[in-house]
């Protein structure tokens, strides 16, 4: 992030409470979207036996104060000082999430991604690419206060497979959000698809390309191939909005459930894309038909 704090647009819609609310709505929208292959949705826990939809919605709501604090902090701090405070707030948010979910890791990756993007927008980014770029700058800064302890599953996967994971995605400026999810989402809308179908196709596009550390952790490279090829096959059949595409989607869902594969990293990036898409950017005319999904618990 190169601009000083508070240098962005004075639009009151960018207040901290609105940014926090938009982040929570994005998490809820991703959770509610159905049918998602292998992921928790309105039908149940997908490939998980420790999660369901009410748990994900409770987790999203538990993160609201963290996102609000991140937005306030990004208006007054800058550079390494901001990065270190974001790290502290993120760890506090992780503890709040764990209390709300009984220690189930529901949104750790999404907290990282959305926390950085909330900070970038609160700090002055006035469009999606600027937000992703500023978030990348923050992600690359050091945090001296990262606690020493056992490596996370994501970090172990990063080391074993040489993939960037959530950190690499952020440091690269969220390419799967900016170059994959958002264009696919808007292409589907332009083609007259429903909002549900547009979001499912955006998710599938990310799944087809992302080296998802959640999948690699559970299924290794063979599992990742199943996810990527399966998602590509759904899109090749016309996506979630066609009969053949929907059939391929449900077939992929059955296979991922059977293999216990959950593309959680792709789900987190869809939530990040929805966050950016839902924001009332100063230079974007409001879309009358925009659906802003509220959390329902």
How far the first Cα of the chain sits from its last, in Å, is: 36
Walk along the chain (297 residues) and give the pLDDT tens digit of each residue: 445 554 444 444 458 999 999 999 999 999 999 999 999 999 999 999 899 999 999 999 999 999 999 999 999 998 999 999 999 999 999 999 999 999 998 999 999 999 999 999 999 999 999 999 999 999 999 876 555 455 566 677 777 877 888 899 999 999 999 999 999 999 999 999 999 999 999 999 999 999 999 999 999 999 999 999 999 999 999 999 999 999 999 999 999 999 999 999 999 999 999 999 999 888 664 443 344 333 443
Of 96, 102, 287, the closest CA to residue 189 belongs to 287
Residue ranges per domain, the chain? Answer: 13-146+153-278
Tokens of 63: 């993160």
Q: What is the pLDDT of residue 125?
A: 95
Give the pLDDT confidence score for residue 142 in this predicted structure: 86
pLDDT value, residue 144: 66
Tokens 């902090």 identify what position? 73
Reading the block at residue 260, the tokens are 């216990």
Q: What is the CA radius of gyration of the chain?
A: 18
Query: Can you give the pLDDT at residue 208?
Result: 98
**Residues 2/120, Cβ–Cβ less than 8 Å:** no
What angle is formed at CA 89 by the lines to CA 83 and CA 91, rounded to 5 degrees? 105
Exposed / middle / buried, residue 290 (Cβ in 10 Å: 0-12, 13-18, 19+): exposed
pTM of the entire predicted model? 0.89
Q: What distance in Å separates the CA atoms of residue 45 and residue 188, rounded to the nearest whole number? A: 27
Are 279 and 286 contacting, i.e. CB atoms less than 8 angstroms apart? Answer: no
CA distances from residue 212 to 17, 216, 262, 263, 284 in whole angstroms, order as listed: 31, 6, 9, 6, 31
The whole-number pLDDT of residue 163 equals: 82
Query: CB of 188 within 8 A of CB of 215?
Result: no
How far is the C-alpha of 31 from the C-alpha of 23, rounded, in Å? 13
Do 60 and 24 contact (CB within 8 A), yes or no? yes
DSSP 8-state secondary structure symbol assigned to residue 148: P
Residue located via tokens 């050091």: 142
Residue pair 274/199 in contact by the 8 Å Cβ criterion: yes
- Give the C-alpha separation, 81 to 141, whole Å: 10
Q: Cα dihedral sign for 101, 41, 158, 80?
A: negative
């Amino acid at each position: 992030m190169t601009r000083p704090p508070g240098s962005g647009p004075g639009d009151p819609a960018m207040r901290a409470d609105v940014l926090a609310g938009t982040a929570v709505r994005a998490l809820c929208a991703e959770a509610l979207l159905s049918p998602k292959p292998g992921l928790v949705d309105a039908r149940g826990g997908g490939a998980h036996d420790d999660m369901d939809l009410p748990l994900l919605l409770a987790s999203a709501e538990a993160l609201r104060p963290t996102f609000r604090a991140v937005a306030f902090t990004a208006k007054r701090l800058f550079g390494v000082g901001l990065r270190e405070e974001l790290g502290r707030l993120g760890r506090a948010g992780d503890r709040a999430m764990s209390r709300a979910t009984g220690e189930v890791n529901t949104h750790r990756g999404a907290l990282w991604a959305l926390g950085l993007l909330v900070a970038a927008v609160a700090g002055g980014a006035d469009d999606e690419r600027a937000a992703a770029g500023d978030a990348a700058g923050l992600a690359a800064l050091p945090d001296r206060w990262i606690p020493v302890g056992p490596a996370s599953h994501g970090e172990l996967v990063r080391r074993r497979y040489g993939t960037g994971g959530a950190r690499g995605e952020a440091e690269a400026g969220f390419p799967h959000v900016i170059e994959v999810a958002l264009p696919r989402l808007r292409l589907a809308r332009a083609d007259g698809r429903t909002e549900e179908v547009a979001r499912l196709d955006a998710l599938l596009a990310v799944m087809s390309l992302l080296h998802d550390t959640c999948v690699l952790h559970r299924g290794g490279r063979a599992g990742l191939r199943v996810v990527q090829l399966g998602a590509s096959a759904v899109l090749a059949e016309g996506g979630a909005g066609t009969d053949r595409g929907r059939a391929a989607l449900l077939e992929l869902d059955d296979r991922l459930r059977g293999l216990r594969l959950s593309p959680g990293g792709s789900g987190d990036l869809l939530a990040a894309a929805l966050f950016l898409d839902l924001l009332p950017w100063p230079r974007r005319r409001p879309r009358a038909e925009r659906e802003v999904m509220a959390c329902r618990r």
